[in-house]
Amino acid sequence: MGSAGLSTSFIIGRGQEAMAFQAGTMPLPDDGGMIRISSNENARGPGRKAMEALQHAISPRVGRGYPPDYTGELVDTIAATYGVNRNNVIVGTGSGPILEAGVRAFCTADKPLVTAAPTYGTPDGTARRINVPIKMIPVDRALSLDLDAMAAAATGGGMVFLCNPNNPTGTAHNAAAVERFVRRVKQASPGTAILIDEAYIDYVHDPAVKTAVPLTQQLPGVFVTRSFSKAHGMAGLRLGYAIGQPETVQAISRAWSLGSVNTLTAAAGMASLKDPQHIAEERAENARVRDFTLQAFKDLGYQGSDSHTNCIFLDLKRPASEFRDACRALKVQVGRDFPPFEKTHSRITLGTMDEMRQAVQVFRKVLTAKASTSSAA
C-alpha cells in the first residue's frame, strides 16, 4: 500500500540533536496485497482537520507531558456538542473499555445482562469472564433487534445492551421506538441500566433514527456510548466516550479502567467533532460504496439488509467460514462468524470504492464457482 498520511515536516528539538522528519512516511506493514474488509474499520481514515490537529499537537510537550493534556478540553467539546454538562461525560481509550465497565458496574450473578444475537460482543464477552448470566435475545426476521422481547427479558436485569444501529446486521430503530423501549424497561424495572451503543450512528440514512442522548438526561441509569473508530476514522488512535447522568457515568468509571487518552488523540478528537462537514462527506461516500456493493450482490441473486453502518450482512446460503476461506485464498478478507447466522450469513465491511470493485470480482468468482459445483452435483 506504500506510504500514507501527513505531509508536513516537523522539527522536534533536543538541543544539538534536533531531528527533522516527514510525518507519515513510515511505510505500512506489507499485507501481501490482501484487501481487508473484515473489521469494520474506516477505509478513508481521519478527516483533514483531525490530521491537521495531529500535526499541530506534535511538539516536545508530547514527550514530556503525561495525559490529561487536552483531555479536559475534549470533554468540554463533547459536552458542548450535545448540550450537556461536562460531568455527564466520560472518555476512554475506545468505547470498548466503557462497554466492559458498564457490565461490571451494573450486572451481578443475580442481575443478568440482556443483549441480542447477533450484536457487538464486548458486553457478553465481559459477562462470561466475570460469570454474569446472559439473556440472549435473537434478532427478528428483518434482522432488527427485537425490542419487545428484550424489554420483556429486562425485568430484574442488571443492564440491557442495545446496539443501534446494530453490528453486524446494520439495522436501526428510529428514535420513537427506542424511547418507547427505554421507558417501558424503566417503568417495569427502574434499577436496570440501559446502554445504547451508537458507534455507527453517523452512517444512518434515515432521519427518524436519532441519538438517544436526550433520554440519558431524563432517566437515571441510561447511557449512550460513541466511538471515534468508525465515521471519524480514528480506530488506531483509540477514543470513545459515554454520556449519562453524573451518578451513572461515575459508577462506570469506578467499575473498570477506561484507559488514559493520549495528547494527540484528544487533539484529533476535538478537531473531528468540530468538523461536521467531514462526517457528512464520509456518510455520503459510505452510502455510495454500500449501494454499489449491495447492487453487485443483488445482481448475483443475494439480498443484504438495509444497512445503516459501514458493513453489510448478507444471506449467502452457505457457511460464513466457507465463503471466508474461499475469499481469503483470493486475497480478500471478510468478517468472522456471527452466531446464530454462521451457517448462512457473512458480514462484509465497506472499503474504498476501488477496494470494493476488486472485492466484488472475487465475490462473483467465489459465488459462481459454488453455484457451478452445486449444479454439476
Residue 372: its pLDDT value, please?
53
Q: Are residues 269 and 281 in the same domain?
A: no
Alpha helix ranges (H) inside 135-211 = 147-154, 175-188
Residue 24: its pLDDT value, please?
41
Residue 15: its pLDDT value, please?
31
Assigned domain for 135 exists: yes
Q: Are residues 341 and 246 in the same domain?
A: no
Residue 191: its pLDDT value, please?
98
- Half-sphere exposure in the Cβ direction for 142 (13 Å, CA): 9
Assigned domain for 22 exists: no
Residue 125: its pLDDT value, please?
97
pLDDT along the chain (377 residues), means of 10: 35 30 43 90 94 86 66 96 98 96 98 98 97 98 98 98 98 98 98 99 98 98 98 95 98 93 94 97 98 97 93 97 97 96 97 98 92 51
Which domain-ending residue is among 273, 300, 315? 273
Number of domains composing the chain: 2
Residue 373: its pLDDT value, please?
54
Residue 32: its pLDDT value, please?
77
Residue 69: its pLDDT value, please?
72
Q: What is the pTM of this model?
A: 0.89
Q: Which residue in the block uniquely carries the three cell numbers 444475537?
A: 117
Assigned domain for 54 exists: no
- Domain extent, residue 372, equals 277-376
Are the C-beta atoms of 106 and 159 separated by less than 8 Å?
A: yes
Assigned domain for 190 exists: yes
The helix (run of H) or strand (run of E) holding residue 77 is: helix 71-82
Are the C-beta atoms of 72 and 268 separated by less than 8 Å?
A: no
Q: Are residues 207 and 284 in the same domain?
A: no
106-126 exposure pattern, b = at least 16 Cβ within 10 A, e = fewer:
bbeeebbbbbbbbbbbbbbeb
